[in-house]
Structure 1
Amino acid sequence: MDILRNWIITIVYVIILLTFMEILIPNNDNKKYINFVMSLIIMITIIRPIIDFIKPDESIDEQISQISDYLEYNTMEKRLTYNNYFETESIIELYRQNLKDHIKKRVEKNADYSVHDIEISIEDNDEENLGIIKGIEIILKETSDNKKNISNEKIQDIKIKVTLNENNDTQQAHSINIDYEGDLIKDDLSYYYGLEKEKINIYILEDK
């Protein structure tokens, strides 16, 4: 009975969430594709217990999460195209913060580091390209698990000047060999947000 109850609650929750998101999405050519994805999420949610019963070792939680993330990101972009929203800077900042939250979640899922800070440069002047990401700088922090792995590596001190938002703060960081994980992070963000890898910079915060 608990399984059935949780299943019904999940379906109701997903329908309410998607209904709310549909209200925020403007009526344009992209809406029919977004509605299709929403219907797909509902269908997956409904048949999920059957799939889990047939293939208990194969979870689709990650697929649902990725689709939900895409819808939420797409919804934020579309909100910025409204003239009513364009008149206020608070929506721009809310959009920027939501982007940071999404990036933080994706980075920490793909790397053995925690995110210390994220700076994002977005287009906020050109209405036609409003909300387009122009650059990302990510400062990572070592976790207790990976400190041991880098303790014997040669560390080169560098200065990171955060200028994406006209912020003159300077942060101390060190450069270590995270080429593999760094490439994974850049590949993921580049594909997900449609941003060139060269416009994504990753640093490690120095632990003094």
Structure 2
Amino acid sequence: MFIENLKSIVTTLVTVLIFISAVELVSPSNKMKKYIRFVLGLILITVILNPILQFVSNGDKSVIESIKKYEEVFSKNENNLEVNNSDEINNNQNMGDNRKKAFINNFNKNCDNLLKSKFKDMNFKSEVDCDINFTDVTLNVKKLKIGVNDSRVKKIKKIVINKDVNVNMNEDDEEYSEVKDYLSNELDIPKEKIEVYQLDE
């Protein structure tokens, strides 16, 4: 509102000044010139005083209206900010979950690639269970499960009926202890947190 009024005042003033300059250029150089300048000066004074008189006569009302409009705009923006903040909090939580999922997927892929580069005749599938703190950039691995599919020719194992399954698990653990040692050294994870198992073919 104020800027619009200021713009109209400046436009009117510039227009009047251009008009006065044009009239002075066209007017003849005789006794009439001083009367023409007098009239043009009066016109310029009225153009300058008009906005000042408008502000003095209606200034209170226009200032109060402007303040009310600014208060309305401010309260609308404040409400929008509150709504946006609640949406932003929800988005941050979703983004944190997405970042964690993406990190875990990347960790699993990198772990598979790391193992594949060392043990070329085996296929791997990694599953990590971990806590991630992105602000402190810390990672706490609770459990790292590595599924191994060995493509080498294997020796035939003895089949024993009515034995514990733990015996079979121990044999698998001994067979894949090299994988466990390698991962423990490369990723700096304790061996107790690494579990290696045979993938179903």
The normalised TM-score by structure 2 is: 0.42
Q: Give the number of the structure with larger relative contact order, counting CA–CA contacts within 8 Å between residues 6 or more apart.
A: 1
Q: Which has the larger radius of gyration?
A: 2
Higher normalized helix content (fraction of residues): 2
The normalised TM-score by structure 1 is: 0.41
